[in-house]
Amino acid sequence: MTHSPTTPGGRVEGRIALVTGAASGIGRACAERLAQEGAEVLLTDIQTREGTAAAAEICAAGGMASFVEQDVRQESRWVEIADLVKSRHGRLDILVNNAGIGVGGPILEMTLEAWRHQQAINVEGVFLGIKHCAPLMFGAGGSIINMSSVAGLFGAPGLSAYCATKGAVRLLTKAVAMEFATLGVRVNSVHPGIIDTPIWDSIASGVPLPEQGIAGANRPDLAAMSQVATPMGKPGYPPDIAEGVLFLASNESRYMTGAELVIDGGMSAR
């Protein structure tokens, strides 16, 4: 599948951005798009080789990017990264809390370990990102964008644990948006539908993506799923989500906070 390039226009020119889970999929597309529009982007991920390559490709294309390894579950690492951003730039303008995993399976077969692992990355990682990076935005303003899902809007059988995490991100976003409204920091969530990314390999197998890292034999047919689930009848792709993230990061969304940006091909309209 090919995608038409978007002409750069400097919509976030000169801003400092941090994108977690940026080695592949939606996170990488967000980092690339923000860099195209003039932001200097710090990519983080546990996948060091892929993340380093992603940052290098952004720089080769004329953007400004760097990569550091990060496990978003570790508070000490968040402290280090916030200190790094502060020492380099003195501020942070855009935070994209994108890192996440998907563990599928019936609730009666879900282990407590798998439940907690998914909660730690998908929910606690977002909490820690907000806690340690938001102070770098106070006074100067900024935009925090938390990656939720349509699974955070309605339930899906076999995805109960994943739905729980994404629903938590949705309401965490709204509560924090109210706390930060008078501090000049906007906080919004993005809710992708069926997007063609590697996370489907982990959801199908029940193995968290970072531990798997390769396409699973039981990967669902996303085209067939989309035909049934979405009015548009086709899956989305990471650049579709990156455009929404760019909008929320830019001044075009300056009067939006605590909002849900749903990008799902009409899936939630049914």
Active site residues: 162
For residue 55, the Cα-to-chain-centroid distance in whole angstroms is 16
Count of positions (residues) in the chain: 270
Q: Which long-range contacts (CB under 8 A, 24 or more apart) does 257-260 make?
A: 257/177, 257/180, 257/181, 257/186, 257/187, 257/188, 258/173, 258/174, 258/177, 258/178, 258/181, 258/187, 258/188, 259/177, 259/188, 259/189, 260/148, 260/153, 260/170, 260/188, 260/189, 260/190, 260/191
